[in-house]
Chains A and B, each alone.
Chain A
């Protein structure tokens, strides 16, 4: 029993004893009218409460009683000029009597009602408020009951009284109880943006994170105000996803109500140990439009981990990874002639590199989230400094592969002593592979990442760990398989040539980075970035030429200082490249038949019943570029789009953009690529296209479009 209940209970016991005990009680609920005031000010509202105390095992009903029962009714008998407001219901409980489910109260319930006194009451006048209460009380059996309760209060003028004496004059015996009850009345939530949609089977309540501190609850239950709408016994399923969660509330197959908006009370529990929290919901019901979560997310943790694993696995096949593919191939070539155990160790080091980088990414995302920043997948590329840093790094690796310079332990482990230094290199290539590969989401992965980003830190790390496992799995498998040895050619002079050739994919990746920068930092940004590369190249050349072990020590020292100097100079723009103005990309986009995506524009087009295709993309997402080139920009595909009158909306996420992040989140995604196709029916759900497009996939989707 809570202190309040205890207090009320003892009061009631005392009252009962004073009245000769419960012996002659006719029903199983005792009621009392309490007031927060003893004296009230005419013209001002105050609150009274019907305190209902049920015997053990008995319950009464909420305003929507569920499968059986009826809610209590109050009929007021008030002096002239007084008005009573609506009953304010406390948070109900589920009362389960399989196969039925009712909503109501066990133990006790305090029903609050605001009373407004008329203006023209003389001070000192006594008034009696009377309430006829009718209720149905049930245990195994149900009994209708009714009772009359009343309370007498005094009108008082509070003019000239100071605060303290005003309070003392006002204070009724029920003040504390009513205050507590009022505080625990459910209110609107500040944590979530709530929207509702329905299909034939279920009401989908969607909760979008409004406050960064909002935590997706473990369990939730929605009590609708409307009776006869939901399937009361049906399981309500909570699905974390995107940037929040969704609660699927089954609709009764024989629903007698078909409301246009839904209201009610939602109870949530963070975890089993915490107290229940409740808030009000009031939202129009849209017929199913944007799903917050498509199927992959609608899974418990186990399923998500599976998706993460497969997502990571498939990530190896995404175009994003091509630039680092050379490093991976090199790793294997490098392993030629090594012992099997050594080979396995390389695999482990590579996997470790992948794992650690995923953890760093997860750590960064989580810490940024706790500091209130909401970021999506691939966020690192939204910072031009990062793109530039990566450009310089890839350029240096390319030069290293070309043989311009060599570091004691060569970056890629292809230096003079591969057997000793190769392990560190394997680790490093794991890191690089992850950093470059992660801006794209792969099939399965989008859902897993989106889920991870909304979860507590431990679960986020778990999901990211599985992504890493998935990405590293093929390499682990290869290095562990005895068959691989047979495919590796003998070591020899060809290795040097091959290594040099592998520099070109690196330079290719540099071009990609510069292209991203052209969008992030404009033409000045490109200029300074290229300057950086020049300086980095000089540093590499100086280091390579004069820092060899056969040089005299002062030459070596001087060369090293000079190299570091040029390198620092090359890195200097990192500090301020983000201050360059981003290039206005809108114009070129529109000429190309695309419109800039805004949620308003989407709503507009949907309302007009026009089909819409949205391309969520970013320049740093190579998969997106490939999809665009081989599918979306194909004349044939574009013609189909025109034939069907589809408006093309482009959501370019190259730079940080809250609108696009929120829009992605509304589909349960945290990364790109992501493709959505809406038909003409404003009420129909959109078609979600896969992460990898072919002209056939897009045309098929268009063909099926209604």
Chain B
């Protein structure tokens, strides 16, 4: 009988499952969030309903991110699309004290130095929003429709490298996605495997 009970206990405990991962698929409703920006303003996703939104996971010290800022490609993208009414939110999910986690003043200084053109730089120190969107690397791009649906999730472009020369050779997924949705066409590549530095959760 003792063995029997033991066996039951073992059986029950063994069926406990491990926690689920956040799943973010194109077509899903983009989960809402609220974050403080580098200039102390609170931004929520829901306030941008009716507009196209780009979420760009960033880490100014990551060589993959520097590839796009150093070459000014990222700033160009930000400028082009904010110019078309798109909301561009940079998000940093580095945990407190880890690489990429700066004081708001330092963020403003560095962003100024790079002349970034995003709508805001949001600080996600506890990584909650990063995990919510299953962001794994910097850069990671998420594009959200005016209806609040995710239309693209993944890498910024098609060549995983830190080499600036590759930028012009690669397919840029931000450009591709917007050219398709603005033309009223379906998004051909809606998910890619993002590449870069692991986010420092």
Give A residues with C-beta under 8 Å from B: 67-70, 97-100, 102, 134, 136, 138, 140-144, 227-228, 231, 233-235, 253-254, 256-257, 299-303, 305-306, 309, 466, 469
Contact = CB atoms under 8 A, between A and B. Distances in A.
B24 A254 contact: yes
Interface stretch (B79-87, B115-123, B175-183, B188-196): B188-196
9 contacts: A136-B162, A140-B98, A142-B64, A144-B63, A256-B191, A256-B192, A256-B193, A306-B10, A309-B4
A306 B8 contact: yes
Given A254-B24, A254-B153, A301-B10, A469 B3 contact: yes
Contacts of A143: 63
A253 to B, nearest CB: 5
B87 to A, nearest CB: 24
A235 B10 CA distance: 19
A469 B4 CA distance: 10
Contacts of A309: 3-4, 7
A558 to B, nearest CB: 53
B195 A68 contact: yes
Interface string B1-32: 00110111111011000100101110000000
B137 A67 contact: yes
A75 to B, nearest CB: 12
Nearest to B98: A140
B104 interface: no
A362 to B, nearest CB: 17
Nearest to B136: A67
Q: Which 8 residue pairs across A and B have the least CB separation, nearest first?
A: A302-B10, A68-B198, A228-B193, A144-B162, A142-B197, A306-B7, A141-B99, A303-B11
B167 to A, nearest CB: 14
B195 A70 contact: yes
A68 B136 contact: yes
B61 interface: yes
A303 B198 contact: no
A466 B136 contact: no
B199 interface: yes
B63 A306 contact: no
Contacts of A466: 3, 7
B193 A140 contact: no
B7 A140 contact: no
A227 B192 CA distance: 11
Contacts of A102: 198
Contact of A227 (B10, B13, B191, B193): B193
Interface string B43-76: 0000000000000000001111000000000000
A300 B14 contact: yes
Contacts of A253: 21, 23, 25
A141 B14 contact: no
Contact of A299 (B11, B24, B195, B201): B11
Contacts of B62: 141-142
A99 B14 contact: no
Interface residues of chain A: helix, strand, loop or mixed (majority): loop
B14 A303 contact: yes
Contacts of A100: 136, 198-199, 201
Contacts of B98: 140
Given A144-B162, A254-B23, A469-B3, A67 B11 contact: no
Contacts of A256: 154, 191-193
Contact of A302 (B9, B137, B191, B199): B9
A455 to B, nearest CB: 16
B191 A254 contact: yes
Nearest to B19: A99
A235 B14 CA distance: 14
B125 to A, nearest CB: 16
Nearest to B131: A99
B136 A302 contact: no
Contacts of B61: 141
Given A67-B137, A100-B136, A138 B11 contact: no
Contacts of A141: 61-62, 99, 197, 200
A70 B160 contact: yes
A536 to B, nearest CB: 41
A4 B108 CA distance: 50
A114 B201 CA distance: 40
A301 B13 CA distance: 12
Contacts of A98: 201
A68 B136 CA distance: 7
The interface centre, meaning the residue of A67, A102, A231 with most chain B CB atoms within 10 A of its CB, is A67
Given A227-B193, A253-B23, A305 B7 contact: yes
B42 interface: no
Contacts of A469: 3
Given A69-B197, A99-B136, 12 more contacts: A67-B136, A68-B197, A69-B198, A100-B136, A141-B99, A142-B64, A233-B21, A253-B21, A299-B14, A300-B10, A305-B10, A309-B4
B98 to A, nearest CB: 6
B103 interface: no
B15 to A, nearest CB: 8
Contacts of B200: 140-141
A473 to B, nearest CB: 9
A222 B99 CA distance: 31
A140 B192 CA distance: 24
Instruction: Give the most central of B7, B18, B153, B198: most A CB within 10 Å.
Output: B198
Contacts of B153: 254
Contacts of B3: 305, 309, 466, 469
Contact of A231 (B21, B24, B163): B21
Given A68-B136, A70-B160, A70-B161, A138 B7 contact: no
A148 B23 CA distance: 42
B163 to A, nearest CB: 8
Contacts of A69: 197-198
The interface centre, meaning the residue of A254, A305, A469 with most chain B CB atoms within 10 A of its CB, is A254
B134, B137, B197: residue with the most chain A Cβ atoms closer than 10 Å: B197
A138 B21 contact: no
A233 B20 CA distance: 11
Contacts of A142: 62-64, 197-198
B161 A99 contact: no
A342 to B, nearest CB: 23
A102 B196 CA distance: 12
A469 B6 CA distance: 14
A68 B193 CA distance: 10
A67 B14 contact: no
Contacts of B8: 306
B106 to A, nearest CB: 16
B180 to A, nearest CB: 18
A68 B194 CA distance: 8
Given A142-B62, A233-B21, A99 B10 contact: no
B52 to A, nearest CB: 21
B162 to A, nearest CB: 4
B112 to A, nearest CB: 23
Interface in B115-159: 131, 134, 136-137, 153-154
Given A233-B21, A309-B4, A97 B198 contact: yes
Contacts of A68: 136-137, 195-199
A67 B196 CA distance: 9
A67 B136 CA distance: 7
B193 to A, nearest CB: 4
Contacts of A300: 10, 14
A236 to B, nearest CB: 11
